A and B are shown apart, each in its own frame.
Chain A
Amino acid sequence: MRERKPMAAGKDDFAFDALDWKIVGLLKENGRVSNQDIATRLDVPRASVSNRIQKMTEAGALRIVAAADFSAYDYSVLIALAIKVQGRAPDAVARDLAELPAIFAVHLVTGAHQIEALIAVHEFGELADAVMGSINAIAGIGHIDVCIATDVVYYNFDVGITR
């Protein structure tokens, strides 16, 4: 059976209408387009643009972000971990992993292992010094399968995951 985290009341019911999608479309192109510009381009009052953005954002359905390239923060090493958990609830292990700053993403999964995690560090030395020590200190990690990213061919992130 699949499990999803319980969500705040009402969030699940929220659905974009046609105008919401038009606003979102402009924001995906440029997250810094002003409410006034959106209003002019869609021929609607500025107040309804700001109301709708606020409603979508408060419902957790929309996040307007400034994304920096990995290289802007000097992240040059990206590693995917497939983790087998032993003797502990995978959720508890995942939450401990999520506390580590080098861990960029943590997901609970079905399949041969229970956790998928992504690590971003500035250089390989950091792995030995900081990252592996902290990971090894977490109880319940049985085995880690490692893949080192050599080239990111495609990377799309405009559809987000509920947290």
Chain B
Amino acid sequence: MNRIDLDDIDRGLLDLLGEDARLSNRALARALGLAEGTVRTRIKRLTDRRLLRFTAITDHRQHGNPEFAFLRLRTEMRMAREISTTLGGYKQLRTVILTLGNFNILAIGLFDSREEIAAVTGDFLANIAGVLDVEVSIVTASIKYNERTAKL
């Protein structure tokens, strides 16, 4: 996460697109007082640099109402990175973050059922060498979630 120099035009575009990702280049150009070509070039540059991505987010209920859970793993320190890569191979674990603190890895996953969470924490994680402890928190309600910023 390095500091990146963006100017006011870039930030203006990010802010407007954050409100409405489907705004046309023409509408963006009008709002920011720019030429349409400038808007097109800037958006391309931002997406090429992986600072901006346009995507569609589907509500989890369209995927069969899965369980959303946070898993905190305590691991052998020197094996944390290797274990995090292994976790990424498991499709239910959508986000894997190396952390400093009481736990070494935070994984966030969407599971088909509570039984699947039990299977992952019991069989899968417990059998990965270097995993010492797993703490599971199952989400019952999401109060706030901001997908306007993400790790792209």
Interface positions of A (Cβ within 8 A of B)? 2-5, 12, 15-16, 24, 27-32, 60-76, 78, 80, 82, 91, 94-95, 97-98, 103-113, 116, 120, 145-163
Is B149 in contact with A75, judged by CB distance below 8 angstroms?
yes
Residues of B within 8 A of A156 (CB): 94-95
* Residue on A nearest B59 in the bound complex, by CB: A61
Q: Which residues of B (48-67) have their CB < 8 Å from a CB of A?
A: 50-63
Complex Cα gap A148–B97 (Å): 9
* Residue on B nearest A93 in the bound complex, by CB: B143
Contacts A61-B61, A64-B22, A72-B14: A5 and B72 contacting too (C-beta < 8 A)?
no
Residues of A within 8 A of B14 (CB): 66, 68, 72-73
Interface of B is mostly: strand
Is A60 in contact with B144, judged by CB distance below 8 angstroms?
no
Contact of B51 among A64, A68, A97 (CB under 8 A): A68
Interface positions of B (Cβ within 8 A of A)? 1-4, 6, 10, 14, 17-18, 21-22, 46, 50-63, 68-70, 72, 81, 84-85, 87-88, 93-103, 106, 110, 135-152
Complex Cα gap A67–B22 (Å): 12
Is B145 in contact with A161, judged by CB distance below 8 angstroms?
yes
Is B58 in contact with A62, judged by CB distance below 8 angstroms?
yes
Complex Cα gap A157–B1 (Å): 18
Residues of A within 8 A of B22 (CB): 31-32, 64
Is A111 in contact with B51, judged by CB distance below 8 angstroms?
no
Is B151 in contact with A162, judged by CB distance below 8 angstroms?
no
Contacts A3-B140, A61-B59: A105 and B146 contacting too (C-beta < 8 A)?
yes
Contact of B53 among A66, A95, A104 (CB under 8 A): A66
Residues of A within 8 A of B68 (CB): 107, 161
A9, chain B: closest CB distance, angstroms: 15
Residues of A within 8 A of B144 (CB): 94, 97-98, 103-106, 163
Contacts A68-B14, A72-B52: A149 and B99 contacting too (C-beta < 8 A)?
yes
* Residue on B nearest A156 in the bound complex, by CB: B94
Is B52 in contact with A154, judged by CB distance below 8 angstroms?
no
Is B137 in contact with A110, judged by CB distance below 8 angstroms?
yes
Residues of A within 8 A of B95 (CB): 152, 154-157
Is A116 in contact with B57, judged by CB distance below 8 angstroms?
no
Is B59 in contact with A160, judged by CB distance below 8 angstroms?
yes
Complex Cα gap A105–B98 (Å): 18
* Residue on A nearest B54 in the bound complex, by CB: A31
Of B2, B22, B93, most buried by chain A (CB within 10 Å of CB) is: B22
Is A148 in contact with B101, judged by CB distance below 8 angstroms?
yes
Residues of B within 8 A of A103 (CB): 144
Contacts A103-B144, A154-B93: A75 and B1 contacting too (C-beta < 8 A)?
yes
